[in-house]
Amino acid sequence: MDFTSVDSPEMAAFRKEVREYLDKIVPKDLVDSPDWRDYPESDHQKRRDIAKNLGSKGWLAPTFPKPYGGGGLSIDHAIVIDEELERVNVSMGDVGGIYSPAIMVWGTDEQKNRMLPPILTGQVQTWILLTEPHGGTDLASAKTTAIRDGDEYVINGSKTFVGSDRKPDQFWTLVLSDPKGPRHQNLSWIMIPTDLAGITIQPLNILSTGGVGDHNNSVFFEDVRVPAQNLVGGENKGWQVSSTAMEIEHGGGGDVGPNRILEHFFNFCKTNEIDPDSRDLIADVYLNEDSRRLFGLRNFWKRHAKQPMSYDGSQFRYVRRMGGLRNARLMQQIIGYMALTRDKEWAPEDRWMELFMRNSITAVHPGGTQNIDKVIIARRMGIGRSVKEEAGKLE
């Protein structure tokens, strides 16, 4: 069965428009590499300019309403834009984000009008801060406090394993707003501008996804005063707001693009002498990747077509993570130990294979481990519970 999409005449014309625009705004020498985070500030600004240009046309958030900075377009338009962005293969930093649907679902009209346009048009970069040093994936155990003081909340505490190597313009985070309240009913969801006094960002140089220069961070808050109008969803309603953001983070948004690193692997197999006995292993890599692609395409369609979802997000994320680990093992069997080196003389495909090996391990952990995915799937199937857990609200 062929799941390859074919453009209608309308979408073929739109694809031509998108492709010509991207060819115009994306510098020819600005492409991602295994060291893509280790680039100069000038390149970083070029990437931000690309995001702003796309945002000016509503193409960063094509299916969001136009009044909020989206494109007001169909899912077919969104697929074309995603595929063409994959074609040019340039990352744009921490723009858009998994927090936008949370604002759309739970924000007031004033908050939507104020918060969404800068995000959806690429004017701001944002980190989402959830994990705390003591709690790991137990987000409901948050200890970073937000205590109301007049028209402000005073934030104290810390988050860790967050962000990237470029300071953002704002944080979105889950905070403890009622220290004496019951679990899940004592949290709030708030936006914190990063230029406020009392914020410290400390890099964590650990094994991480991305290339050289990539790192996570710890963020510390000491009596940071945040306007109360930045709290979304109402005080102590943060768990339901965060469930919307986490639904996207856990795979509910899906994706339509191929894994570019695996394209490098397949190219290596085509252009080098490979043991004929490895052909079955190469086929297994392809099948694992195509399964991931189809799960991602399904979720992308369901998300933008506003179809009800259950465990779809976590199912996709589990398939993606475990498939990545399987493919890493298979690729090492096929290529050998050269797949593990960053030495430019010996590393195949300009070190892309080493990046895949590293990512296959580190990608298992962010946003909740694979065990969290299994728990979510089980709860939404109703296993061990009298009432099935519902997916985070996306509309």
What top-level class would CATH report for the domain 126-238? Answer: mainly beta
Rounded CA-CA distance 168/315 in Å is 31
pLDDT tens column, 214-241: 678 999 999 999 999 999 999 999 999 9
Name the amino acid, one letter, at 211.
G
Report pLDDT for 4.
63
Q: How would you class 37 by CB atoms within 10 Å of its CB: exposed for 0-12, middle for 13-18, buried for 19 or more?
A: buried
Q: CA quadruple 46, 48, 51, 57: dihedral positive or negative?
A: negative
3-state secondary structure of 165: coil
Confidence of residue 210 (pLDDT cuts 50, 70, 90): low
Quote the crossing angle between the two packed helices 312-335 and 370-381, to the nearest 10°. 140
- All structural domains of the chain with their residue ranges: 9-93, 126-238, 253-381
Confidence of residue 89 (pLDDT cuts 50, 70, 90): confident
Give the chain's length. 395
3-state secondary structure of 65: coil
- Which stretch of DSSP H or E encloses residue 357? helix 352-362
Rounded CA-CA distance 12/19 in Å is 10
Rounded CA-CA distance 246/90 in Å is 25
pLDDT tens column, 325-355: 999 999 999 999 889 988 888 888 888 888 8
pLDDT tens column, 155-190: 999 999 888 878 899 999 999 999 999 999 999 999
CB contact at 8 A, 187 and 232: no
CATH 1.10.540.10 is held by the domain 9-93 = yes
CB contact at 8 A, 165 and 203: yes
Confidence (pTM): 0.88
Q: What is the CATH number of domain 253-381?
A: 1.20.140.10
